């Protein structure tokens, strides 16, 4: 059974719906989640918030958070997750923001990706993963795969 099939089975068991808020992957996670037949039973919607303005307008990310920590930060990932949960009918939301490359800085290297997870009336968590300077497409693909694993892990915790 694939991870996507496991997600389908667990969301059916829990009666949960999923929403995503994506920046650096620009819809790749949404595309993966909806690639499986039956995904309409668990996938509610996806927010693609590539710009800071989109994060503020669509997900209520605070300008002060963006200024203080930068768009690629666990703090912003958390606010994205909370905002997508508040603007959907989902029980679980995953957010992602990162530097796919090329680029980065001495403080935030290319391949740095922050993830946020929020459960309706439940836990909020974040994590950062460093994929390295492996090229834009590879960072985005690895980040998408990691996001699917994080969603599956969170569903397993509640099943």
Domain ranges of the chain: 3-158
Residue 103 — very low, low, confident or very high, per pLDDT cuts 50/70/90? Answer: confident
Cα–Cα distances (Å) from 133 to 16, 25, 108, 121, in that order, read: 36, 16, 11, 37
CATH T-level fold of 3-158: Maf protein (3.90.950)
Which residues are CB-contacts of 156 (< 8 A; sequence separation ≥ 6)?
10
What pLDDT was estimated at residue 153?
98
- The chain-wide mean pLDDT, for the chain, equals 97
Residue 87 — very low, low, confident or very high, per pLDDT cuts 50/70/90? Answer: very high
pLDDT at 106 over 90: no
């Amino acid at each position: 059974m694939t991870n996507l099939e496991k997600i389908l089975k667990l969301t059916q068991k829990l009666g949960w719906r999923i929403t995503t808020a994506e920046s650096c992957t620009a819809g790749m996670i949404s595309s993966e989640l909806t690639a499986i037949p039956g995904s309409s039973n668990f996938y509610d919607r996806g927010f693609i918030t590539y710009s800071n303005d989109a994060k503020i307008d669509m997900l209520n990310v605070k300008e002060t958070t963006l200024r203080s920590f930068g768009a690629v930060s666990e703090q912003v990932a958390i606010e994205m997750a909370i905002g997508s949960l508040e603007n959907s009918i989902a029980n679980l939301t995953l957010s992602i923001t990162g530097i796919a490359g090329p680029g980065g800085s001495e403080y935030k290297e290319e391949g740095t990706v922050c993830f946020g997870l929020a459960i309706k009336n439940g836990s909020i968590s974040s994590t950062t993963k460093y994929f390295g300077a492996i090229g834009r497409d590879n960072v985005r693909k690895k980040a998408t795969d990691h996001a699917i694993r994080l969603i599956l892990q969170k569903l397993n915790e509640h099943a």
